[in-house]
Every structure is written in structure tokens, then in C-alpha cells.
């Protein structure tokens, strides 16, 4: 009996030792499991931390785009303003207008002595013309006004360079003198009239350019501008054709300025010369009216 009790006691201790070993064997596994669980959040936490960063990054580019867009808008305004400044410089004929108002009467009589006293203002305007020649971006009115003013202003300069004189024809080959420069090119008055203005296809230019002579169409006492050039040329054409000192018109006969024979081709682009005259004449001229031409007075228009 005692032996049986002793054996049972030994078996009990053996069983307890095995359970202890089992517990000891499982203990390392549990920390590993715990480490994995701990490590797992460590992995996910940075991901969660990045999420707000990512959202911030999405906002920043939008802000940068707004800044860039604002900058672009500012640049666009600058780009739009600069050409306007250039155009204003190119078309600013105000100084020439002031000189004409001051030294040319309503009927076209020119005070050359007054122009001579204001030579600095004239020189300054001519310099503006030199530096602002027409480009392909200019429209017809811009270009026409520019070249009309060029012709008249440099004609005044030519007279002043040779003043005093009784007639522009006292100057040798006045219309073929290459005496002024625009941009990088030298010009004559004939270059402006025949190679530029006449090629623009508007015969009214002949009544807007002035050759400093009494029989010429009067020198307009205001500058041509892109805004007024068409209207002023229309008025000048009407005034010249109906001016009895320069043309004598009846229904059956006309005594005309030699301008109408020198540049006959320009006045026949839409029909006969009579057809052109009737567009502006206060007296209707018969198509078979007799034509003759008056003597031209080349005396200086002062």
C-alpha cells in the first residue's frame, strides 16, 4: 500500500514537471505574437501619419497654382499694356498738331518764321516719326495717317532748311532729295508720295499732302490721326474741288488743277475723271463737259 502511494506521488511530480515545461515552451511564443501585434501598429502608424501629409501636399500645389495663375495674370496685363504704350508712341501726333495749330491758318497759309522759331519742337516730332515706322500690325488708317504727316512735316523741314525762298522749286530737285531717314532707310518726298501713298489706292491723298505752294491743296492745320484721317481727307477733297481759286466748274466745262492731269490714272480707278469729280462737286458736271487745266502757281504758301 505504501508502495502504491509512493508511485502515485512520483507520477504526480512528473506530470507537474511536464506542464511546467509546456508552459515554459509556450511563453516565448506569446511574446513573439505580442511583438508582431506591437510591430503591426508601428507599421500602420507611419502610414496614418503620412495621410495628413498627403492631404497637405494636395493643398499646397493648388495654392502654388493660384499664385502662379495670379502671376500669369499680372504678366498678361503687362504684356497687354506694353504694346499699347508702343502704339501710343507710334501714333502720338499731338506735338505736330500743336505746331500746325500755331503756325498754319485755317486757309492753309504757313508761318515759316514761326516754324523756324519752334525748330526744336519740330525736330522732336520728326525724331518720333523716325523711331516709330509702320509695321505689319498697323491697319490702313494708322499707316495712312503716319505717311501723310511724314510728307507734310518733312516738306516743312525742307523749306526751313532753305529758308528764305520764294518757291520750293528754288531748291534743286526738291522731291528727289534723299534728306530724311525713317528707321534704317533714307527717303525722298517722291518716295513717300509715289511709292507709298499712291500705292494705297486712295486718290484723296493728293488733297491731303502739301507741296508748299499756293496752287497746292491747303495744308491742313491739324495732324492726321488714325481716327480722323478718312474724315479729313473727305473734307479736303470736297474743299479743293469746289475751291474756285483752284478749279472752275460748270455743267458743261471744267477748268481744273493740273493735279488732275498729273495723276489722272489715280482718279479713274472707278470710272472717268468726271465721274470722280461728280462725287464731290456741288455742281453736276456733264459727262461730255469740256476739260482744261489751269496754270500752277508754285509761289511759297506764306
pLDDT for 6 equals: 52
Q: In what order do the strands lie in the sheet with 248-249?
A: 248-249, 253-256, 290-293
pLDDT for 8 equals: 52
pLDDT tens digits for range 41-96: 443 434 344 444 433 333 344 444 443 444 333 333 332 333 443 444 446 799 99
pLDDT tens digits for range 149-172: 999 999 999 999 999 999 999 999
Other C-beta atoms closer than 10 Å to the C-beta of 107 total 12
3-state helix, strand, coil in the chain (%, to 5): 65, 5, 30
Q: Which residues of the chain have pLDDT under 50?
A: 1-2, 4, 11, 14, 16, 18-90
Please provide the average confidence, as pLDDT, over all residues in the chain.
81
Q: Kindly report the pTM of this predicted structure.
A: 0.71
- Report percent pLDDT > 70 for the chain: 70
Cell numbers given for 225: 490721326
Amino acid at each position: 500500500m505504501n508502495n502504491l502511494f509512493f508511485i502515485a506521488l512520483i507520477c504526480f511530480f512528473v506530470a507537474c514537471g511536464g506542464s511546467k515545461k509546456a508552459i515554459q515552451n509556450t511563453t516565448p511564443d506569446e511574446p513573439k505574437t505580442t511583438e508582431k501585434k506591437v510591430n503591426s501598429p508601428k507599421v500602420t502608424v507611419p502610414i496614418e501619419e503620412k495621410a495628413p501629409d498627403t492631404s497637405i501636399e494636395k493643398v499646397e500645389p493648388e495654392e502654388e497654382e493660384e499664385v502662379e495663375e495670379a502671376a500669369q495674370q499680372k504678366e498678361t496685363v503687362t504684356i497687354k499694356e506694353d504694346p499699347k504704350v508702343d502704339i501710343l508712341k507710334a501714333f502720338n501726333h499731338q506735338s505736330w498738331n500743336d505746331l500746325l495749330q500755331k503756325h498754319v491758318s485755317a486757309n492753309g497759309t504757313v508761318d515759316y518764321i514761326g516754324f523756324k522759331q519752334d525748330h526744336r519742337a519740330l525736330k522732336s516730332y520728326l525724331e518720333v516719326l523716325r523711331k516709330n515706322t509702320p509695321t505689319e500690325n498697323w491697319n490702313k488708317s494708322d499707316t495712312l495717317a503716319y505717311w501723310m504727316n511724314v510728307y507734310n512735316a518733312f516738306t516743312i523741314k525742307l523749306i526751313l532748311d532753305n529758308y528764305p525762298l520764294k518757291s520750293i522749286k528754288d531748291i534743286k530737285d526738291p522731291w528727289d532729295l534723299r534728306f530724311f531717314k525713317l528707321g534704317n532707310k533714307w527717303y525722298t518726298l517722291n518716295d513717300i508720295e509715289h511709292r507709298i501713298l499712291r500705292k494705297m489706292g486712295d486718290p484723296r491723298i493728293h488733297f491731303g499732302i502739301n507741296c508748299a505752294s499756293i496752287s497746292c491743296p491747303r495744308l491742313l492745320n491739324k495732324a492726321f490721326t488714325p481716327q480722323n484721317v478718312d474724315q479729313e481727307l473727305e473734307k479736303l477733297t470736297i474743299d479743293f474741288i469746289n475751291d474756285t481759286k483752284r478749279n472752275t466748274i460748270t455743267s458743261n466745262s471744267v477748268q481744273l488743277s493740273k493735279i488732275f492731269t498729273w495723276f489722272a490714272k489715280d482718279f479713274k480707278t472707278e470710272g472717268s475723271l468726271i465721274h470722280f469729280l461728280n462725287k464731290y462737286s456741288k455742281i453736276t458736271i456733264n459727262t461730255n463737259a469740256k476739260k482744261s487745266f489751269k496754270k500752277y502757281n508754285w509761289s511759297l504758301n506764306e
